[in-house]
Amino acid sequence: MSSVINPIQIGVCGWGDHDLYPPGTQAREKLAIYAGHFPVVEVDSTFYAIAPVERMERWVNETPESFRFVVKAYRELTGHGRLEKAPVRPWRELVEDMRVSLEPMLRAGKLEAVLFQFPPWYDCSQKHVKYIRRVREAFRDVPVAVEFRNQSWFYPDFHDKTLRLLEQEQCIHVICDEPQAGEGSVPLVVAATVPEQAIVRFHGRNVAGWNNTGQPNWRDVRYAYRYEEAELAEWVGYVRQLEQRVKRITLLFNNNSQGDAVDSANLMMRLLGVEFAGLAPRQLGIF
């Protein structure tokens, strides 16, 4: 197991499309370079397809001992449904395939959490509460993080019950910095539900682009946002609060539709005054 040497970890979502790499860098070379800049990354591709074990093992081997991964759960396990032409498969089979896929990271101590990001229509209802409990049971020995995208979970009548549910099930509450754009967004709730860690995801604050307006490039537009320094400075106090409650904090920037995530992550590092230990050696070609 790798030890936690960075109580505050900062990274971005995905490692392929950022301004970190020298011209001509091959896709297979990027993770090793990324790991010279940040100690944690979110794996987004697993939302679209469960990664083969061999690929997960390669990512483990390409990163330093202390590097961490937050892995998004496959979309059929989070209520998003199947991709077009994907085969129909039993739920238990999907769970088992996901568990097998995660095993190399679990074994190496590099799995920070598996992220269950539920869709905007996933409201606070009895059937969805039951499903979260079912997921937790299926992944009982895995750190599970839950992100809501429906405002109802944090209505005044449900706010405390939602956090209590996550505490009881030992699920990590994913704190979101995102546009306040109606039912399909959640408010900022700076609360930790497990003592081991807290996870914060920064989606930007593009209110106008957050909801689907029928535009074909909507998914690109919704994360197009450059945080101002004053906006991220607000988070210094929140992070200090969380430090009193958990052993480590992971901050992930997802505002990358226009390439802003790395700059935001670097700015947050400066504002918090953190430096990371255990990074991969930087290649001379990137200077």
The DSSP secondary structure of 119-158, one letter per residue, reads -TT--S-HHHHHHHHHHHHHTTTS-EEEE---GGGGSTTT
The two tokens of residue 248 are: 């480590």
What are 66-84's pLDDT values in tens digits?
A: 999 999 999 999 999 988 8
pLDDT given at position 219: 66
- Nearest partner of 256 among 99, 7, 34, judged by Cα: 34
pLDDT given at position 257: 78
Rounded CA gap, 206 and 229, in Å?
16
Rounded CA gap, 64 and 198, in Å?
22
pLDDT given at position 214: 64
pLDDT band at 285 (very low <50, low <70, confident <90, very high): very low
Which of 47-56, 138-147, 211-220 bottoms out in mean pLDDT, i.e. has the lowest? 211-220
Instruction: State pTM to two decimals.
Output: 0.94
Per the CB < 8 A criterion, the answer to whether 62 and 41 are in contact is no
Q: Which domains does the chain have, with CATH numbers?
A: 8-286 (3.20.20.410)
Rounded CA gap, 60 and 205, in Å?
33
- Nearest partner of 46 among 127, 102, 129, judged by Cα: 102
- Residue 280 in 3-state DSSP? coil
What residues form DSSP beta bridges with 173? Answer: 146
What residues form DSSP beta bridges with 249? Answer: 8, 198
pLDDT given at position 224: 78
What is the C-alpha radius of gyration for the chain, rounded to an integer number of angstroms?
18
Rounded CA gap, 66 and 279, in Å?
8
CA torsion 128→218→204→199, rounded to 10°?
A: 30
Distances (CA, A) of 271 to 124, 181, 253, 267: 35, 27, 15, 6
Q: What number is the average pLDDT over the span 197-201?
A: 98
Average pLDDT, the chain: 93
pLDDT band at 218 (very low <50, low <70, confident <90, very high): low
pLDDT given at position 175: 98
Query: Alpha carbon 270 to chain centroid distance?
Result: 21
More confident residue, 211 or 185: 185
pLDDT given at position 1: 43
- Residue 24 in 3-state DSSP? coil
What are 241-265's pLDDT values in tens digits?
A: 999 999 999 999 999 878 899 999 9
Q: What number is the average pLDDT over the span 122-136?
A: 98
Distances (CA, A) of 61 to 42, 47, 181, 280: 17, 22, 41, 12
Q: What number is the average pLDDT over the span 192-196?
A: 97
What are 102-115's pLDDT values in tens digits?
A: 999 999 999 999 99
Q: What number is the average pLDDT over the span 195-208?
A: 93
Per the CB < 8 A criterion, the answer to whether 186 and 148 are in contact is yes
